[in-house]
Chains A and B, each alone.
Chain A
Amino acid sequence: MFRLRSLNASRIWKGIIITALWLLGVFVPLFFQDPFVLHLFNLVFLGCVWALSWTILARTGYISFAHNAFLGIGAYTSVYLVMQLNVPFWGGFLAAGAMAGIFALILGVIILRLKGIFFVLSTFCFAQIMLRVFRLAVPITGGANGIRGIPPPIFPLIGSIESHGQFYVLFYIYATLVVIFTARLFTSNIGREFKAIGEDMFVAESMGIDTTRQKVIAFLISSVIAGFSGSFHAHYVSFISDTTFEMIKAIETVIYCVVGGIGSIVGPIIGAFVMVPLPEFLRGFVAYQIALYGLILILILRFFPEGIWGTVKRGIHAFTPTTPTTKLKSLSLSSELADGFSIDFGDTLDFKKGTILECQAISRHFGGLAALSKVSFSINSGEILGIVGPNGAGKTTLYNVITGVFPPNQGTIIFKGRNITGLRPSKISHLGVGRVFQTRILYTESSVKENVARSFVPRSGFNGIKDLLSLEKKKHQWVNDETQQILTLCGLDPVAEELPKNLPHGFQRLLGFAMALATKPELILLDEPVTGMSIEEMNIIGDMLEKIHKSGLTIIIVEHNVNFVMRLCPRILVLNYGEKIAEGTPEEIRNNPNVIEAFLGG
């Protein structure tokens, strides 16, 4: 209770500080009437927006060097419409965002399937192509000579914005709106999915987040804001040419974010406030201006690699007394966990009779290696099936094929009477196949609670736009409630705020379990659930699985430990070198000569 109150108090202080700083910003033009100072502030605000809009995509783990291209697309669209076609400013402004959005949509669909550095490089290529297109498309862009005398923005009712002071107000409002929007976005369900993708795309996809769609959305939002900024920029400085949108512009966003600190909203803002005015302060050194800019950047990175805000935050952490956390090392799975484990799937299971999953002659090979060849089996609803086999027998490959990580080369997979061969993992997860991974496949940077909650988010059925307008409180509440339930059920309550890597092994497995249960599965695939556990822990997990099974869930267990499987599963399948060599009751398996040879002989 006390902890809760102090948390609220610190939030209130945060709110007060932010509001005070914001109000201070409102009165800046009163104190500084020098147009040059106001001009600098205006550039800083545009810089903040610039860096924040880039951060939205970076949240999903994708680094773009094409942001300058969208700035250019927005600027040229707006200027062309306003100057050549006499469209009112607001029309040009909206069109700028729309045009940037269209480009982003097309480009995003094509290149967002690339991962890591390859995505970065392809954005980079796109930007380089666009820059040269700007230079060549003289009738629209004016080419290298650029466009002069761009009129200032004119708003209906308000009139034209001309002086630096007026622009100050405009950009202050613009930056404020973008900051609020970004903050909103990051705490919304959609932002949570962005973060999930950024932390681990594989887990996100497996837990039911449509990663492709969300990445394109992030790219779209980020680029539309860049397009708006392009329009404002052009009508503010009144002159643009292809060099306005040079690569340095794309690099600037990255510099602001890295200098300020990646991964927060405050970071890019601090970065813009430090790095935008820097060249002006260095103007006194004339010839050495560029070199000094580089030197200062290098020094900041060298000594504050986490960025300014990252370093400040660590400083604050070092000075605040931390509440003593649970003694993690002494935690162990207790038998109470299994005793108290009660779960009822009655209402979520819509498939209660007959064959729930059927694999028909599935084969999968990697190069010349056949990881699976013509494996067929089926499992009835409510059954518990064990799959055993020596190392390299193809057990994990089988799971990957069923859950859609990669499609089989041949064969079909039927789930609940529906052909799911070749569907994406997120789709298969939504249909009701849950998976508990073998190794530590989790969101490593987020708390246990957040790990579980992210499995619920794609199932809460939130509406993105309503969510951003904070109209989806009920669905947030639903996610929180469900998460709490699962955490209590799996005995993860005491460690809910910890990072998964700090947990003892058994609890990490439990977390994987909790995440899979949270996807509301009807069939759950367990990959070596008791590897590395003691006999007692194994028994606890075994008891838990029995209870889950009794409540009606269908279970497949892949396991090395044959005794464990024989205890739980009335029917067992044996794989060796990617082929099914036996199937039957534990007794039959034990006496099957093929199986004996596979495990003991050879």
Chain B
Amino acid sequence: MSLTLLGQIFFNGIVISSVYVLLAVGFNLVWGILGIFNFAHGHFYMLGAFMAWYFISGLNLGFFAAFIFSGICIFIGAAIALKGLLDPLKENEFVCVIASLGLVSLIEGLVSAIFGGEARIVNLPVTGVMKLGGLYLSYPRLATLGISLAVFGVFLYLVYFTNFGRALRATGSDPEMAQVQGINISRIYFITFCMGTTLAGMGGIVACHMTPLMPHMGIDFSLKAFIVVVLGGLGSIPGAVVGALIIGLLESFIGSIFNPTIAMIVSFIVVLIILLVKPSGLLGVEGR
């Protein structure tokens, strides 16, 4: 295998990883802070991709307008899902999981009813390839990488450098204590869920051109988010980044050399081993 090919695979892996970071960080927040294992998380990714298709290919809006409109739509959708369904059922973790499965069915059903069952392909206004050494770096993929990193940067700023972020981290580490200190935790929960879910949606928007869009692809992305989070460690943002890099590169390498199914088997085996050996994940905190 030539070095250029390896480089190409590596580049693709990094692009996929950057999308997984957005996907997984949101999943991590929702699971780690609200304690909701949301099976419909990947469906918001799918929803984001379909909204992007609608705004870009359907209405011929520019990418950035599409990005913002789709983001807003996902945020509202997340708010409805939380207030209408998940929040009232939060008492019982288990019923909540099943409720999120109801959401899976509802979102998938609505999307396939509205957009139809056939695969959709988004053609971005940006095209072309940048040649670097022997590598072919396509501009759409570079854009995906760039926007993902920018969104993630904004997210990091919010979490680590604002008062909201401080309240969020406080709630994450000890909700009761946070409440005693005057933090309105139900508001934090609300924003966290909507933000985390919107991050998944944005992942779907920026990656919408990479694969054909199908309504049933949502669950695959929930699975990937789950793999990344367990691997990196529940409640750990650096863990989500490391997990996303591992899974993205693993998928890119094994997927190119063998096939994507084997890549998935390998990632699940890795996660199973991690669960057995260190259930808190690579960078997770013990006892969470």
A positions within 8 Å CB-CB of B = 63, 110-111, 114, 117-118, 121-122, 124-126, 128-129, 132-133, 135-136, 247, 251, 254-255, 258, 262, 287-295, 297-298, 301-302, 305
B276 lies within 8 A of chain A by Cβ: yes
CB < 8 Å A-B pair total: 107
B37 lies within 8 A of chain A by Cβ: yes
Q: A129-B265, A254-B98, A297-B102 are in contact. Are A114 and B276 (CB under 8 A)?
A: yes
B107 near A294 with CB under 8 A, answer: yes
Task: Give residues 184-230 of B contacting A (CB, 8 Å).
Answer: 219, 223, 226, 230
B95 near A110 with CB under 8 A, answer: no
16 intermolecular pairs with C-beta atoms under 8 Å apart: A110-B276, A111-B275, A111-B276, A122-B272, A125-B269, A125-B271, A129-B268, A136-B262, A254-B97, A258-B98, A287-B112, A292-B109, A294-B109, A297-B99, A298-B106, A301-B89
Q: A247-B219, A298-B102 are in contact. Are A63 and B94 (CB under 8 A)?
A: yes
Q: A132-B261, A258-B95, A302-B89 are in contact. Are A294 and B272 (CB under 8 A)?
A: no
Closest B residue to A124 using CB positions: B226
Q: A129-B268, A136-B261 are in contact. Are A118 and B279 (CB under 8 A)?
A: yes
A121 near B112 with CB under 8 A, answer: no
Contact of A295 among B94, B106, B230 (CB under 8 A): B106
B219 near A294 with CB under 8 A, answer: no
B279 near A289 with CB under 8 A, answer: no
Contacts of A125 in B (CB 8 A): 268-269, 271-272, 275
CA distance A290 to B110 in the complex (A): 8
A294 near B105 with CB under 8 A, answer: yes
Closest 10 CB pairs of A and B: A291-B109, A294-B105, A290-B109, A294-B106, A297-B102, A298-B102, A287-B113, A125-B272, A125-B268, A118-B279
B positions within 8 Å CB-CB of A = 37, 84-85, 88-89, 92, 94-95, 97-99, 101-110, 112-113, 219, 223, 226, 230, 261-262, 264-265, 268-269, 271-272, 275-276, 279
CA distance A254 to B94 in the complex (A): 10
* A532 CB → nearest B CB, Å: 23
Closest B residue to A301 using CB positions: B99
Contact of B264 among A132, A255, A291, A292 (CB under 8 A): A132
B105 near A291 with CB under 8 A, answer: yes
A305 near B95 with CB under 8 A, answer: yes
Contacts of A118 in B (CB 8 A): 275, 279
Closest A residue to B110 using CB positions: A291
Contacts of B105 in A (CB 8 A): 290-291, 293-294, 297
A302 near B85 with CB under 8 A, answer: yes
* A223 CB → nearest B CB, Å: 17
A305 near B268 with CB under 8 A, answer: no
Contacts of B261 in A (CB 8 A): 132, 135-136
A121 near B265 with CB under 8 A, answer: no
A301 near B265 with CB under 8 A, answer: no
Contacts of B271 in A (CB 8 A): 121, 125
CA distance A117 to B279 in the complex (A): 10
Contacts of A136 in B (CB 8 A): 261-262, 265
* B169 CB → nearest A CB, Å: 22
B223 near A298 with CB under 8 A, answer: no
* A283 CB → nearest B CB, Å: 13
* A191 CB → nearest B CB, Å: 21
B104 near A294 with CB under 8 A, answer: yes
Contacts of B98 in A (CB 8 A): 251, 254-255, 258, 297, 301
CA distance A262 to B103 in the complex (A): 20
B109 near A298 with CB under 8 A, answer: no
* A350 CB → nearest B CB, Å: 40
Contacts of B101 in A (CB 8 A): 251, 254-255, 297
Contacts of A302 in B (CB 8 A): 84-85, 88-89, 99
* A17 CB → nearest B CB, Å: 28
Closest A residue to B92 using CB positions: A305
**Given A114-B279, A302-B84, list of 16 further CB < 8 A pairs?**
A110-B276, A111-B275, A117-B37, A121-B226, A132-B261, A132-B264, A132-B268, A251-B101, A255-B98, A258-B94, A287-B112, A289-B109, A291-B109, A294-B106, A297-B101, A298-B85
